[in-house]
Amino acid sequence: MVATGTTTPVSVGLIWLFAWLRRGLPVKDYLALKRVRGRHLARWLALLLCMGVVSDLTTWLMGRPLVPEVMVTEYRTAVFPPLLWLAVIVGAPLAEELFFRGFVFKGLLHSFLGGTGAVLVTAGAWAVIHLQYDWYGMTNIFAAGLLFGYARLKTNSVYPCLLMHALMNLLATVQVIVVLHAQTGLG
């Protein structure tokens, strides 16, 4: 929580700086900061919700906990939960999406890898940074990254990715709170 809170402004600033240093292309274009119609955003968010249902159902059928213990521990040890919510629901999506589906994606898109490579590489790299999870959690993150990358490719905008990431983290946070209430007998 503290790391995300302190590194987000620095990360976003550095991403902006390096995109700005790329002469010949405005920062907004490089980072794909382009408006997307509300109904298109709603479709991407609906796809994310469907993916979440399938993921949770698969997790449940496999007999795995819906909420990884690392998330419960992180929430339990948070000194001030609203700061954790801000870091997880706003800070992490902003920094990670601007970096992976904004900055890195643009460079890969115009390389020999093209759109498919950009989607695959950014999803894989994004999953790998989430070392706090086991292989199953990282696989789910990779799958979400594929969806985010596809949205980025189809819309030429980072905004659907950012909103899907924030919604995904919001729902995960709500699941943690439900689990904690159930464990303490409050829910």
Q: Which residues contact 158 (CB under 8 A, 6 or more apart)?
A: 31, 32, 33, 34, 97, 98, 101, 102, 105, 152
pLDDT category at 180 given cuts 50, 70, 90 is confident
Contact in structure between 41 and 163 (CB atoms under 8 Å) = yes
pTM greater than 0.85: yes
pLDDT at position 52: 96
pLDDT digits (tens, 9 = 90+) for 77-97: 888 889 889 999 999 999 999
Average pLDDT value for residue range 17-42: 90
